[in-house]
Structure 1
Amino acid sequence: MSPLPFPVRIAAGLVVTAVEQVRELPRHAVELPVTAVSQALQVSMRLQQTVTELAIKGDRALGTLRPVDDVPSWATFDDDLPAPDPLAPADLARPRPDDTPRNGTVSTLRPARAGIPIDRPERPARASNRPDATAAAPAAVPEYPTLTVPQLRGKLRALDVDDLSDLLAWETAHENRPAYVTMLTNRIATLSQEK
């Protein structure tokens, strides 16, 4: 038997392929949405990778033209906190991260730099630690009883040692909040050291 001509064989192959595709059509119809979504996600991820690579190359190129600061301007910290004194006892050299006193008593909150007197009246006996609504607020900062720690920190630079001592005396007599006592004590120590 002689072989059929080449174009006839190609046509027969196309017909068989078409029949196979028609038989697989229900399965492909179900898979089509999944395949389409998958391909769209792949294209999206490739595009994101390309854009990111371009941004990295751009950063490198611009970095050679303009040096970047080691410490960004927004990453500043409260410069009122004194550096640890190497001669001071480790317990009192710096406040704890949670701003609580090391041994929990107010009398030990004197700054690590010895010789800085802080006059504190004795705390009156109270049934609760809540401030008395009729108690006069400190004259230097009348709104002091309602200030949060960040709000108070913003006002400390404008106050002198006498005003800070008044605030500290009021705090220890009324609320005696460790974070406030520590912040005021540290600021008094900083100002006293600058004199």
Structure 2
Amino acid sequence: MSPLPFPVRIAAGLVVTAVEQARELPRHAVELPVTAVSQALQVSMRLQQTVTELAIKGDRALGALRPGDDVPSWATFDDDLTEPALPDPEPVAAPASRNGAVSPLRPARSGIPIDRSARPAPAAPDRGPAAPGGPHAVPEYPGLSIPQLRGKLRTLGIDDLSDLLAWETSHENRPPYVTMLTNRIATLSREK
């Protein structure tokens, strides 16, 4: 038997393929919505990638024309954050407590600390010897960073915070530490 001409064989192959596709049509009809959504998502992702690549190339080109910031304005770190500073204290008459004693380190009701160093502070209860280099409440205080101190402040009362503030102002007097302690004392005073 001689082989059939090439175009006839191609036509027969097309007919067989059409019949196979017709048999698979119900299965393809069910898969069609999923396939369409999948292809649409692929096109969308390719478009987003292309746009992002163009933006990156544009940033590189424009970055050569103008100097960039060393630290982006949106980048913040715990060490950079400071709690809002209170205004400088003004001399104000301090209200006396029920027994007439005035604490030299407690803030006034306004939240602004008042310098009461002229009056002697009431005697603090003896808590035993302090660890060398630090106050009684938090012996490791001198080596703490701002974030570490922030984590410990929530467990301390006003008296302990006042001791820390007194120790800080008499030793290193670091403004961020003084501000944080003062603000925490004011917050606890308002909560009472």
Q: TM-score, normalised by structure 2?
A: 0.48
- Select the structure with the greater relative contact order (CA < 8 A; seq sep ≥ 6): 1
